[in-house]
Amino acid sequence: MKNFWPKLFKSKKFKYYKLSKNIRKSNIIEQSFNFAKIIYPDLTKKKFKSNIKYIQKNLQIKKNSSVLDFGSGNGSFLFYFQKKFNLKKNYSFEISKNLLMLQKENIKLTKFIQTSEKKFEFKNNIVCDYSFCLSVFQYFPTFRYALDVIHFLIKSTKKRILIYDIKDGKKKSRYRNIVRLRQKLTNKEFQKKYNNLPLRYYPKEFFIKIFKKLDKKYKFNYQFLKLPKSATDYDYGYCIVIKK
């Protein structure tokens, strides 16, 4: 497996860092959206607001609580919830050193942890109220990595967990074709472009099997949810909410 995400953000011309320095507005939602748009240029404010609403609906974050964001990118969502709910202690897990440096400029009261793209090192001393993992499961290098992350989140979180946008293993062929057509790529061009990315897909049975084992130790409930219609390719993915 080639080193894909860190390499993407190692450039000395790191434009995300430079651009974010110029974004300073008083409105929380505006500022958070502008940070998110740096990483996701096709994102609209309407979609961003819908995502915020969906996350809060399923996590029910309370004031003065603690939150963990796994695969946090430049921290736009963590930034929003930290300011909105006056979060006292946060954890940000991200593979890119440059993106973590960017987060440190903007997010307070947070422990920043750089992860490895090859193997997830289990953290035993972390406890938080809420966790979310947004649109990153498809980029995990192995199914074992995904299993370790799930185990870690369930062990470390006291109240609720949201895993957002898991690509449905039963719709893999249809989804890949949709992405290829949307980007106007031939089959050969698509394979070349995504050759070094996992683009991992998960049947729901994968999670059900894991949850049966972990529930004996941690005691929790879970629910599979549809993606909101505002999400890109909402029909090809799903979400999981875990409640303790």
3-state SS, 163-196, equals EEEEEEHHHHHHHHHHHHHHCCCCHHHHHHHCCC
**Residue 87 sits in which domain range?**
4-51+62-170+198-243
Identity of residue 126? I
Q: Is the pLDDT of residue 153 over 90?
A: yes
Q: Is the pLDDT of residue 7 over 60?
A: no
Residue 13 lies in a domain: yes
Alpha-carbon span 140 to 70, nearest angstrom: 12
Q: Which helix (H) or strand (E) holds 59?
A: helix 45-59
Which two structure tokens, joined as six digits, stand for 234? 């909402």
Q: Is the pLDDT of residue 55 over 80?
A: yes
pLDDT level of residue 1 (50, 70, 90 thresholds): very low
Neighbours of 74 (CB within 10 A): 28
Residue 149 lies in a domain: yes
Any idea what the CATH number is for the domain that residue 46 is in?
A: 3.40.50.150
Residue 74 lies in a domain: yes
- Residue-averaged pLDDT of the chain: 87
Closest C-alpha among 126, 106, 115, 112 to residue 66: 126
Range of weakest confidence among 18-22, 185-189, 211-215: 18-22
Give tens-digit pLDDT for 86-142. 998 999 999 988 889 888 888 889 999 999 888 888 777 899 999 999 999 998 989
Q: Is the pLDDT of residue 146 over 50?
A: yes
DSSP class per residue in 109-161: SEEEEEPPSS-PPPPSS--EEEEEEES-GGG-S-HHHHHHHHHHHHHHEEEEE
Alpha-carbon span 233 to 159, nearest angstrom: 29
Q: Is the pLDDT of residue 212 over 80?
A: yes
Residue in this structure with the two tokens 């929380």, named with its chain if needed: 28
Residue 34 lies in a domain: yes
Residue 189 and residue 85 in contact, taking contact as beta carbons nearer than 8 Å: no
Count the domains in the chain: 1
Residue 81 lies in a domain: yes
Identity of residue 105? E
pLDDT level of residue 239 (50, 70, 90 thresholds): very high
Residue 46 lies in a domain: yes
pLDDT level of residue 4 (50, 70, 90 thresholds): very low
Residue 107 lies in a domain: yes
Residue 39 and residue 23 in contact, taking contact as beta carbons nearer than 8 Å: no
Q: What is the pLDDT of residue 19?
A: 53
Give tens-digit pLDDT for 76-96. 999 999 999 999 899 999 998
Alpha-carbon span 56 to 50, nearest angstrom: 10
* SS3 label, residue 67: strand
Q: What is the pLDDT of residue 18?
A: 54
pTM of the model: 0.88
Residue 189 lies in a domain: no
Report the share of the chain in percent with pLDDT over 90: 55
Taking residues 14-25, report their average pLDDT.
Answer: 56
Distances (CA, A) of 44 to 137, 177, 200: 23, 24, 26
Residue 170 and residue 203 in contact, taking contact as beta carbons nearer than 8 Å: yes
